[in-house]
């Protein structure tokens, strides 16, 4: 019996644990997932310093004409104290001298030979960066499960951190089977087709930060498929397509079962993609997707992406949606949860003009899809809908409904 999308996703999350960890230089950590929190070891700035090129002054000297006693450059290590009736020339980033109450920018003073005339009003602490105003030692900077981006690397570098502990990239293994299918680099025989599913899974898994292993093409025999499965069991996730539907003349399902396959689910109430199967052999997860290209690709977006996000250790492992409006009216048949590909232009969503489970073109011209409730027969123009992107990851730390009602 087919289970709901919600039940299927919950089973995916319950079966998946993050990968093991490794220590990596921060220069190689972009788009990787932290496996431990980062706590600030140093305050930033580590000392009070000037935010401007200007003059270090006392507020009581506002409006006075003073002499310049010295110059402080960024990086100077000497302790300097303010002298009465004198000011100090100071450069951006230089340490604030003792007794300084404010910095007056160069453009706000009047200079006559060696005399500096200050403005009539000076605000206390103006243009001074205070110690710890950005980061204070001991504060939490990053949580475990955070995907690191360029500005996170800036944060780590500011603390003198050279290496971080990350979750290992998930290893995804792929193999193809079926006498009627050939890889894109092989010649086609009569009544044969190119295998588009395996390259699609490989590309999407790489986009999601995985290391991909392709074990080759299995012959249509039980022994050959078993051999390919066994060669792939060192991966975190094996993804295949086709061969498990009722009536399939294929050994795929039998091959997995003879090797101890533990099933989580074998059918999902979704269109297209009902025969989607998920489970594991030992600690290796198995996802078998429909054989039809569009059905396989869309179900990868739902179930494959969810499994990979969870394997990656991301705290935001749950798929999320963007709320937008329909660009035009759309009619459809009700009766089953449906995946509808289309294009999101930043303000509205246009469903693909023509799509079917066996097609390849529609998703190449789509950047998102809707998951529509079984009760829906269509939408009017400007109807509010939820979409899930396919060309970037939209995810959340909390699990929310993906369904457009």
Q: Do residues 336 and 303 lie in contact, with contact meaning Cβ atoms separated by under 8 Å? A: no
pLDDT for the residue numbered 250: 66
Whole-model pTM above 0.85?
A: yes
Which domain does 81 fall in, by range? 49-129
Q: Which of 79, 109, 129 is the last residue of a domain?
A: 129
Q: What pLDDT score does 218 carry? A: 85
Q: Which of 239-248, 318-327, 345-354, 395-404 has the lowest mean pLDDT?
A: 239-248
Both 57 and 12 in a single domain? no
In a domain, 150, yes or no: yes
Name the nearest CA neighbour of 294 among 390, 171, 180.
Answer: 390
Are 197 and 146 in a shared domain? no
Residue 110 falls within a domain, yes or no?
Answer: yes
DSSP string, 45-68: SSS-EESSSEEEE-GGGTT-EEEE
**Total domain count, the chain:** 4
Q: Are residues 101 and 73 in the same domain?
A: yes
Cβ(400)–Cβ(321) below 8 Å: yes
Residue 108 in domain: yes
H helical segments located in 197-283:
197-207, 222-232, 252-258
Q: Which residues pair with 111 in a beta bridge?
A: 116
Quick: pLDDT tens for 86-125: 999 999 999 999 999 999 999 999 999 889 999 999 999 9
Q: Is the pLDDT of residue 64 over 70?
A: yes
Statement to judge: residues 219 and 340 lie in one domain = no
Q: Which residues pair with 81 in a beta bridge?
A: 98
- Per-residue pLDDT tens digits for 149-197: 999 999 999 999 999 999 999 999 998 877 778 888 988 888 888 889 9
Distance CA 234, CA 281 (A): 11
Residue 376's CATH number: 2.40.340.10
Query: What average pLDDT does the segment 6-11 reach?
Result: 98
Task: Looking at the structure, tell me whether residues 252 and 278 fall in a common domain.
Answer: yes
Asked if residue 308 lies in contact with residue 172, where contact means CB atoms within 8 angstroms, the answer is yes
Domain of 82, CATH number, reads 2.170.190.11
Same-domain check for residues 307 and 368: no
pLDDT digits (tens, 9 = 90+) for 371-387: 999 999 999 999 999 99
283, 311, 339 — which closes off a domain?
Answer: 311
Q: Mean of the pLDDT values across residues 7-13?
A: 98
Residue 316 lies in a domain: no
Say if 144 falls within a structural domain: yes
Q: Domain check: are 163 and 222 in the same one?
A: no
Residue with tokens 């490794």: 22
| Among candidate residues 311, 340, 375, the one where a domain is terminated | 311
Both 235 and 301 in a single domain?
yes
Pairing outcome for strands 102-105 and 54-57? antiparallel
Helix locations, 103-185, DSSP H = 150-158
Question: Do 261 and 361 lie in a common domain?
Answer: no
Does some domain include residue 28?
no
pLDDT for 249 equals: 52
Q: What is the pLDDT of residue 178?
A: 75
Do both 160 and 174 map to the same domain? no
Distances (CA, A) of 168 to 124, 164, 298: 50, 12, 26
Please report whether residue 190 resides in a domain. yes
Give the pLDDT mean for 207-213: 97
Pair 303, 178 in one domain: yes
Do 180 and 233 fall within a single domain? yes
pLDDT at position 247 is 52
Is it the case that residue 391 has pLDDT exceeding 90?
A: yes
Residue 26 lies in a domain: no
């Amino acid at each position: 019996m087919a289970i709901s999308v919600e039940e299927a996703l919950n089973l995916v999350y319950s079966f998946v644990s993050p990968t093991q960890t490794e220590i990596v230089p921060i220069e190689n950590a972009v788009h990787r997932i932290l496996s431990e929190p980062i706590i600030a070891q140093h305050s930033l700035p580590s000392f009070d310093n000037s935010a401007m090129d200007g003059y270090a002054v006392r507020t009581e000297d506002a409006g006075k004409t003073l002499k310049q006693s010295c110059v402080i450059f960024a990086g100077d290590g000497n302790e300097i104290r303010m002298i009465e009736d004198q000011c100090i020339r100071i450069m951006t980033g230089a340490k604030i001298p003792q007794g300084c109450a404010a910095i007056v920018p160069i453009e706000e003073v009047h200079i006559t030979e060696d005399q500096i005339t200050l403005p009539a009003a000076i605000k206390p602490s103006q243009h001074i960066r205070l110690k710890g105003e950005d980061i204070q030692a001991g504060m939490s900077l990053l949580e475990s499960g955070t995907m690191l981006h360029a500005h996170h690397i800036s944060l780590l570098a500011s603390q003198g951190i050279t290496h971080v502990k990350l979750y290992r990239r998930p290893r995804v293994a792929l193999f193809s089977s079926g006498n009627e299918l050939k890889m894109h680099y092989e010649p086609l025989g009569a009544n044969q087709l190119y295998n588009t599913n395996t390259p699609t899974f490989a590309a999407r898994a790489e986009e999601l930060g995985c290391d991909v292993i392709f074990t080759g093409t299995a012959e249509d025999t039980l022994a050959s498929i078993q051999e390919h499965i066994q060669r792939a069991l060192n991966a975190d996730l094996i993804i295949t397509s086709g061969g498990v539907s009722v009536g399939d003349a294929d050994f795929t399902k039998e091959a997995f079962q003879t090797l101890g396959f533990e099933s989580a689910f074998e059918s999902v109430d979704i269109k297209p993609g009902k025969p989607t199967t998920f489970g594991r052999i030992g600690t290796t997860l198995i996802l078998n997707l429909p054989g039809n290209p569009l059905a396989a690709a869309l179900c990868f977006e739902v179930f494959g992406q969810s499994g990979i996000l969870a394997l990656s250790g991301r705290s935001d492992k749950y798929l999320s949606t963007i709320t937008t409006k329909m660009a035009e009216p759309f009619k459809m048949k009700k009766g089953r949860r449906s995946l509808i590909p289309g294009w999101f232009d930043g303000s509205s969503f246009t469903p693909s003009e023509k799509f079917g489970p066996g097609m390849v073109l529609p998703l190449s011209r789509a950047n998102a899809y809707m998951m529509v409730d079984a009760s829906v027969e269509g939408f009017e123009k400007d109807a509010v809908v939820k979409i899930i992107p396919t060309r970037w990851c939209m995810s959340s730390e909390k699990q929310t409904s993906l369904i457009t009602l």
